[in-house]
């Protein structure tokens, strides 16, 4: 065994040496020695890995950060990768201030490594692959010289787990230590006559150890960079007084950037984190107060009743009133119980959402559907309900609260759980008015948030409650008859359609493995239902029940196999793709948005596979030839922010516009960092008129 380990280690070391020897030599321009380095010794199909652009800079000279400051230009990488590969944007280490006469630049001295993640397709064959990139940079001292280099890496492809290259480990470790961390700090700024006050909430700050705090904004010219940044330690954090620059607009500009904290801790210790502050006293969402938020939530709840998943459940509940309308007292009681089921369900979802956000989780409305496990359980639920409605089996009328169960006390649980079910199946939907209301709720205290969600639940429950309390409306209902059973069976098909849609959502989230697990679970549930219909009396009956229970538990256990894919790695693919709307899109990132705004207008679609409203808007408003022609004529770039899986970057972007769920549609004019918010329900004319008005 010991000999086997020695031989294995010897071969691993030999492999590393062979790989290193096949890498292209550094390119030395006399001012900068540039080289592509890999963190690992080989490429494994389907497994992303990291490379880095390493720059060794001539003493006294410097290259530049993503925002070069008052002059200069950032380093660029232009990739030529094999088919199926993609490269992320450069991950920028925090810079240093580089004063030059009256100017202040941001850049790097001596040595720097710019990490980039490479996404690898599953289908590549064993062998060797060459990764090529052209690097461009500006290097300056007393003079500035633009330089470039053609760089490449030659790496073997193997199914074995990649081995880290020891010689490169220190470079990547140091680079990662200098990458700004997104820790979700709260920050805001206020604009005075000649200053900008940036306040950051940062607990545990020891003022006695602070040597300096520097702010590096992403936007060029938003600050007067040479002017000092005055630091004040305040309650729960710190404040920087900044001088606005030539390109700062109090309405259109933002102050997104990087904070670098330097401390004296037995030596110099630096930490960096990102901030995306909002302007104090204002948001980029519609200006609303509590009264308007409550009204919007109520209206949104009313509209939820028309959603394709909710409507069949509500209609079947109404059918029960046809048979029981003679007992008005019981009907009214059932109405209140239904309201309680709806409202309590929304409050439970809100409480979980508020609690998770309080722990730092970047989530919003619909967060439960970002879990493939929850999606899988909803698939089971919709299929079982559909089978029940179609008459294939009966699992107890009290569960749905239908039929004669409505007129006796045992049916009250049916009304309650119908309300719960209605709230659950409404989860994929964001109706008009809901977005602004929920966004407002989640930026306020817990009591205010719960009040808004209560209003949402009351709005959803009101139509059924009014029907229960209105004899005139009850009298207009048709008389009981065979048509009720036929209508009930017809409404099974929207439930099956919802299950098919969620199966597609699951495939988007988790691929074929999760799909196989859920379909296997459906097979077991179907067999369990068939078995339950063939129950015998006596001991055989209990054996059948035990078998049904066992099969159902196994089916539910299969959902544990389902887990989210690494959405972040998927988002790194910046290649243009055709999406469901027919427009050519790119994955959203704040960096890509910023770069495209320098070219022309940008349309950002915040969407998710499980968002019904999003998909309807794609079909109705974004898929036509007229819309595509206007995009091309006006040179509008199209970014798609896919929130199907949890993505903190997209969650923060939604929060900047006072939203906590999708859909959200933003239209930016060229060079303008402030967007116009389009309605949640789009039409072809709305999109075209908004673009033509730019």
Note the pLDDT of residue 565.
42
Q: For 437-452, how does the pLDDT look when each residue is reduced to its tens digit (9 = 90+)?
A: 776 776 677 788 888 8
Question: Quick one: how far is CA 335 from the chain centroid?
Answer: 37
Which tens digit of pLDDT belongs to each residue from 545-588? 566 566 666 655 655 555 544 433 333 344 444 455 557 788 89
Shared domain check, 65 and 18: yes
- Give the tokens for residue 513: 């493995």
User: Does 490 or 14 have the greater pLDDT score?
Assistant: 490
3-state secondary structure of 520: helix
DSSP string, 607-672: E-TT-HHHHHHHHHTSSSHHHHHHHHHTT-EEEEEE-SS--HHHHHHHHHTT-SSS-EEEEE-TT-
Give the tokens for residue 479. 């008389």
pLDDT at 476 over 90: no
Tokens (6 digits) for 388: 């029940």
The pLDDT of residue 177 is above 80: yes
The whole-number pLDDT of residue 39 equals: 93
What is the per-residue pLDDT across 580-634, written as a single tens digit (0 to 9) for each?
555 778 889 888 888 888 888 999 999 887 777 787 788 888 888 888 889 988 8
End-of-domain residue from the set 221, 250, 279: 279
3-state DSSP of 199-218: EEECCCCCHHHEEEEEEEEC
Q: How many domains does the chain have?
A: 4
What end-to-end distance do the CA atoms of the chain give, in Å?
Answer: 72
Gap between the Cα atoms of 193 and 191, Å rounded: 7
pLDDT confidence band for 13 (50 / 70 / 90): very low
Q: What is the token pair recorded at 499?
A: 């299950």
Axis-axis angle for helices 492-533, 310-324 (nearest 10) = 70
For residue 410, the surrounding DSSP H or E stretch is none
Could you tell me if 210 and 139 lie in one domain?
no
Q: Give per-residue pLDDT as tens, 109-168.
A: 999 999 999 999 988 888 888 999 999 999 998 888 999 999 999 999 988 889 999 999
542 occurs within a structural domain: no
Task: List the single range of 87-101, 342-356, 526-540 with lowest mean pLDDT.
Answer: 526-540
Q: Are residues 78 and 104 in the same domain?
A: yes
CATH number (domain holding residue 88): 2.60.40.1250
Q: What average pLDDT does the segment 453-458 reach?
A: 88
CA distance 233 to 226: 22
Q: What span, in angstroms and rounded, lies between the C-alpha atoms of 682 and 665? A: 9
CB 36 within 8 A of CB 28: no
Same domain flag for 369 and 462: yes
Contact 435, 661 (CB under 8 A): yes
Residues of the chain with pLDDT > 90: what percent?
A: 23
State yes or no: pLDDT of 367 exceeds 70: no
Instruction: State the Cα–Cα distance between residues 641 and 648, nearest whole angstrom.
Output: 11
Sheet strands side by side (includes 268-275): 210-217, 257-264, 268-275
Mean pLDDT computed over every residue of the chain: 77
- As given in the structure block, the two tokens for residue 60 are 């006294």
Q: Are residues 328 and 475 in the same domain?
A: yes
Residue 18 domain boundaries:
2-177
In this structure, are residues 140 and 61 in contact, taking their beta carbons and an 8 Å threshold? Answer: yes
The reply to whether 238 and 126 lie within a common domain is no
Rounded CA gap, 219 and 67, in Å? 7
Q: Do the domain assignments include residue 414?
A: yes
Average pLDDT of span 492-504 = 79
- Please name the residues in contact with 185: beta carbons below 8 A apart, sequence gap of 6 or more: 200, 201, 202, 273, 275
Query: Buried b / exposed e across 133-156, counting CB within 10 Å, b at 16+?
Result: bebebbbbeeeeeebebebebebb
| CA separation for the pair 120, 46 (Å, rounded) | 5
| Percent of all residues in the chain with a pLDDT value above 70, rounded to a whole number | 73
Pinpoint the alpha helices (H) of 359-411. Answer: 372-389, 397-400
- Asked if residue 516 has pLDDT above 50, the reply is yes
Give whole-number Cα distances, 620 to 15, 614, 679, 680, in Å.
55, 10, 14, 12
Torsion of CA 147, 89, 439, 236, to 10 degrees: -70
CATH number at residue 196: 2.60.40
The Cβ-side half-sphere exposure at 77, using a 13 Å CA radius, reads 30
* Mean pLDDT of the region 246-258: 82
Q: Tokens 């280490």, residue?
A: 93
| pLDDT for the residue 149 | 92
Whether pLDDT at 510 is above 70 = no
The answer to whether the CB of 304 falls within 8 A of the CB of 460 is: yes
606 in helix, strand or coil?
strand
**Cα–Cα dist 564/373, whole Å:** 9
| Cβ atoms 639, 632 nearer than 8 A | no
CA of residue 404 relative to chain centroid, distance: 45
Q: Kindly give the interhelix angle for 492-533 and 372-389, rounded to the nearest 10 degrees.
A: 80
pLDDT band at 679 (very low <50, low <70, confident <90, very high): confident
Same-domain status, 19 and 147: yes
Q: Are 594 and 218 in contact (CB under 8 A)?
A: yes
DSSP class of 227: S
Q: What is the mean pLDDT of residues 388-410?
A: 47
Tell me how far apart the alpha carbons of residues 522 and 379 are, in angstroms, rounded to a whole number.
9
Residue 470 in domain:
yes
In a domain, 559, yes or no: no
φ/ψ region of 176 (left if φ > 0, alpha if ψ in -120 to 50, else beta) reads alpha
Is the N-terminal amide bond of 663 cis, ω within 30° of 0?
Answer: yes
pLDDT band at 360 (very low <50, low <70, confident <90, very high): low
> Helix, strand, coil proportions of the chain in percent (round to 5)?
45, 25, 35
Beta bridge partners of 324: none
Q: How far apart are CA 641 and CA 587, in angstroms?
A: 6
Torsion, Cα of 341, 344, 345, 346 (10° steps): 130
Domain end marker among 153, 177, 201: 177
Q: Is 523 a member of any domain? A: no
In a domain, 191, yes or no: yes
For 221, phi then psi, to 5°, come to 75, 5
Tell me: do 32 and 151 sit in the same domain.
yes
Query: What pLDDT sits at residue 43?
Result: 92
**Which CATH number do you get for residue 611?**
3.40.30.10
pLDDT band for 277, please (50, 70, 90 cuts). Answer: confident
Does 403 fall in a domain?
Answer: yes
- Domain edge (last residue) among 149, 177, 205: 177
Instruction: Let me know if residue 199 belongs to a domain.
Output: yes
- Beta bridge partners, 186, equal 201
Question: CB–CB of 439/659 below 8 Å?
Answer: yes
Torsion of CA 243, 246, 252, 255, to 10 degrees: -40
> Do 59 and 33 fall within a single domain?
yes
Q: Is 170 exposed, middle or buried (0-12, 13-18, 19+ CB in 10 A)?
A: exposed
DSSP structural state of residue 572: T
For 452-508, give the DSSP string. HHHHHHHHHHHHHHHHHT-HHHHHHSPPPSHHHHHHHHHTHHHHHHHHHHHHHHHHH
Regarding whether 155 and 41 lie in a shared domain, the answer is yes
Average pLDDT over residues 187-195: 84
Residue 24 pLDDT > 60, yes or no?
no
Q: Per-residue pLDDT averaged across 71-90, rounded?
A: 91
| Displacement of CA 6 from its chain's centroid (Å) | 46
Does residue 198 share a domain with residue 162? no
Q: What is the spatial distance between Cα 587 and Cα 580, in angstroms, rounded to a whole number?
A: 13
Give the residue from 605, 549, 551, 601 showing the smallest Cα distance to 580.
Answer: 605
pLDDT (mean) for 411-419: 73
pLDDT of residue 247: 85
Query: 3-class DSSP state for residue 159?
Result: coil
Query: 490 is written with which tokens?
Result: 């017809």
Give bridge partners of residue 79 from the DSSP assignment: 133
Its pTM surpasses 0.75:
no
Measured between alpha carbons, how far is 53 from 43 in angstroms, rounded to an integer? Answer: 18
Q: Are strands 637-642 and 602-607 parallel, antiparallel or unpaired?
A: parallel
Pairing status of strand 186-191 against strand 278-279: parallel
Query: What is the reported pLDDT for 490?
Result: 78
Question: Residues 294, 350: one domain?
Answer: yes
C-beta of residue 318 within 8 angstroms of C-beta of residue 464: yes
């Amino acid at each position: 065994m010991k000999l086997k380990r020695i031989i294995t280690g010897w071969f691993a070391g030999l492999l590393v040496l062979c790989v290193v020897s096949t890498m292209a030599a550094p390119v030395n321009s006399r001012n900068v020695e540039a080289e592509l380095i890999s963190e690992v010794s080989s490429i494994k199909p389907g497994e992303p890995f990291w490379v880095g652009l390493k720059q060794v800079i001539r003493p006294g000279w410097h290259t530049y950060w993503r925002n070069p400051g008052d002059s200069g230009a950032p380093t660029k990488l232009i990739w030529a990768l094999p088919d199926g590969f993609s490269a992320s944007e450069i991950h920028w280490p925090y810079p240093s201030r580089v004063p030059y006469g009256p100017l202040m630049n941001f850049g790097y001295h001596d040595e720097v490594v710019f990490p980039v993640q490479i996404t690898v397709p599953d289908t590549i064959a064993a062998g060797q692959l060459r990764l090529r990139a052209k690097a461009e940079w500006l290097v300056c001292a007393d003079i500035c010289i633009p330089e470039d280099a053609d760089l490449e890496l030659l790496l073997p492809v193997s199914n074995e787990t990649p081995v880290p290259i020891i010689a490169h480990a220190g470079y990547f470790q140091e680079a990662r230590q200098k990458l700004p961390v997104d820790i979700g700090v709260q920050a805001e700024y206020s604009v005075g006559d000649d200053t900008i006050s940036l306040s950051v909430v940062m607990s545990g700050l020891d003022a006695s150890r602070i040597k300096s705090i520097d702010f590096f904004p992403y936007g060029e010219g938003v600050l007067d960079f040479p002017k000092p940044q005055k630091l004040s330690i305040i309650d729960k954090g710190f404040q920087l007084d900044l001088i606005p620059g030539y390109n700062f607009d109090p309405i259109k500009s933002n102050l997104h950037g990087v904070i670098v904290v330097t401390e004296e801790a037995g030596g110099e210790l630096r930490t960096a984190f990102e901030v995306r502050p909002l302007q104090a006293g204002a948001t980029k969402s519609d200006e609303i107060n509590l009264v308007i938020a409550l009204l919007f939530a109520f209206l949104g709840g009313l509209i939820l009743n028309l959603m394709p998943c909710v409507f069949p459940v509500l209609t079947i509940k109404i059918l029960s009133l046809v048979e029981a309308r003679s007992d008005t007292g019981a009907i009214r009681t059932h109405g209140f119980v239904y309201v309680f089921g709806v409202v309590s369900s929304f409050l439970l979802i809100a409480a979980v959402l508020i609690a998770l956000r309080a722990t730092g989780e970047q989530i919003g409305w619909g967060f439960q559907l970002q879990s493939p496990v929850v999606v899988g359980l909803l698939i089971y639920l919709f299929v079982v309900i559909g089978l029940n409605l179609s008459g294939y089996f009966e699992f107890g009328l009290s569960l749905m609260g239908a039929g004669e169960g409505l007129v006796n006390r045992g049916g009250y649980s049916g009304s309650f759980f119908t309300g719960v079910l209605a709230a659950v199946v409404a989860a994929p939907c964001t109706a008009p008015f809901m977005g602004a209301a929920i966004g407002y709720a989640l930026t306020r205290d817990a009591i205010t948030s719960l009040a808004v969600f209560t209003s949402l639940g009351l709005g959803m429950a009101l139509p059924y409650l009014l029907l229960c309390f209105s004899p005139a409306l009850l009298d207009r209902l048709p008389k009981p008859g065979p048509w009720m059973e036929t209508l009930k069976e017809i409404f099974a098909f929207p439930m099956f359609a919802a299950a098919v849609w969620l199966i597609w959502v699951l495939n988007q989230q988790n691929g074929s493995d999760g799909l196989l697990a859920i379909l296997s679970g459906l097979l077991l549930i179907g067999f369990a239902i068939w078995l339950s219909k063939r129950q015998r009396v006596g001991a055989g009956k209990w054996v059948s029940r035990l078998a049904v229970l066992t099969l159902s538990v196994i089916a539910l256990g299969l959902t544990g196999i389902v887990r989210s894919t690494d959405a972040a790695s998927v988002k790194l693919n910046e290649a243009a793709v055709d999406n469901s709307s027919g427009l050519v899109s790119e994955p959203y990132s704040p960096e890509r948005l910023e770069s495209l705004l320098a070219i022309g207008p940008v349309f950002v679609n915040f969407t998710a596979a499980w968002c019904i409203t999003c998909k309807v808007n794609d079909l109705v408003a974004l898929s036509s030839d007229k819309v595509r022609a206007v995009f091309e004529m006006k040179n509008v770039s199209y970014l798609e922010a896919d929130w199907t899986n949890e993505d903190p970057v997209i969650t923060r972007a939604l929060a900047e516009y006072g939203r906590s769920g999708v859909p959200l549609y933003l239209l930016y004019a060229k060079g303008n960092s402030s967007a116009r918010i389009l309605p949640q329900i789009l039409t072809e004319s709305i999109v075209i008129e908004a673009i033509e008005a730019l």
